[in-house]
Amino acid sequence: MLSDVLNTEQAIQFIRLDPQKVYSRARSMRINEVASPGRPDEHELPVGQDRGLLWRLHGYWFYEERGGGVYITCESITLTRDIPFGLGRS
């Protein structure tokens, strides 16, 4: 199992298409991996000195009010640096 803690900043825009439909798009402005999360020595790793598991993130969310509820669809595009050794295809 692989886990990671990231500190990110996102630019998010909401666009109303009609009274029942809205979509939003988000793009990462900053992504830093956090080393030693939850410990006294917790700190952000400088860009390029982390594992590069998430380099960029673009998210697209679609919201539609229908039938007494809200349907939500999410699509994302992510970019990583090199896949760490051992996590690639076998």
- Residue spans of the domains in the chain: they are 1-31
Higher pLDDT, 42 or 80: 42
DSSP 8-class letter at 73:
E
Average pLDDT over residues 34-63: 92
Residue 52 pLDDT exceeds 70: yes
Q: Which amino acid belongs to residue 9? A: E
Q: How far apart are CA 34 and CA 70, in angstroms?
A: 34
HSE-CB for 11 with a 13 A CA cutoff: 5
For residue 70, what pLDDT is reported?
97
